[in-house]
Amino acid sequence: MKRTALVTGAAHGLGAVAARRLAAAAWDVVALDVDEIGLAKTAHRSPNTHVRVCDVTDPDALAQVLAMTGPVHRVVHAASAAPSGPVLAQPLGEVEDVLRLNVLGTVNVVQATLPGMLERSTRSPERSAGGAEEPGSDPPSPGSAGGRPPRGRAGELFLCPDASGPPASPSAAAVAAYADALWAEHGGRGVTLRCVHAAAGTPHGLVLDAMDRSLARPAQGVHVRVGQARRPLLATLGRR
């Protein structure tokens, strides 16, 4: 079955690495960003990566992309912006721009993709047979069933509010609260929801590894916290 992933912020950083990794794993990847040159670099020599110049703060533009894309099975929402300087010193216009992209952009992406996932879940024969995720249930480990997702999972939605800024930023906190609200309303309905919090400077590969591992956790484990890996002791001593 064709698996389609939608990756936002795919021209740089976490989004670009996520798009390349998914494409290498044979996903059909739809990569979104406003940076056309960066998108071209992400999709270089990847025939199953389809780039679309799209501003996630524009719901109409998102709707047009999804109308061409068809059903989406995984979303990695990594489009974000980082404010400059201390909180009290940030110009109001800059704060508004950051909140528009990081918070309203997230709302737009979720509203454009989650309803379709939920609708597929209600139509799934596996779900009607009792195979859908339930709050508190333990999905199979990555090594079981050939590493396939649990039966009845209609989609996976990853929100990455820290992709461009510190985890303590107000916009990241707002997205985390939004993720909790989404789980409260739609948890256990066959769509996996994760909100990813990465420590500053964490390599993108480690963040993506943690995201993949989180799929084996109970459904209600919405928040994924990723810290930098500790250096091996011998390697640390060798640098002294």
Average pLDDT rounded to a whole number, residues 9-32: 98
Question: What is the chain's mean pLDDT, rounded?
Answer: 85
According to the model, what pLDDT value does residue 35 have? 98
How many domains are contained in the chain? 1
Using the CB atoms, write b or e for 104-114: b if 16+ within 10 Å: ebbebbbebbb
Q: What is the pLDDT of residues 63-89, one digit of tens each?
A: 999 999 999 999 999 999 987 778 888
Nearest to 167 by CA among 91, 94, 228: 228
30 or 134, which is more confident: 30
CA triple 201-203-204, angle to 5 deg: 120
CA pair distance 54, 7, nearest whole angstrom: 11
Largest CA distance in the chain: 60
Q: Which two tokens stand for residue 172?
A: 């990241």
Q: Residue 164 above 90 pLDDT?
A: no
Q: Which two tokens stand for residue 45?
A: 């020599």
CA pair distance 225, 42, nearest whole angstrom: 26
Q: Residue 138 above 90 pLDDT?
A: no
Residue 169 Ramachandran class (φ > 0 left, ψ -120 to 50 alpha, else beta): beta
According to the model, what pLDDT value does residue 23 have? 98
Domain that holds residue 20: 4-238
Q: Residue 201 above 90 pLDDT?
A: no
Bridge-based pairing state of the strands 4-8 and 223-226? unpaired
pTM of the model: 0.84
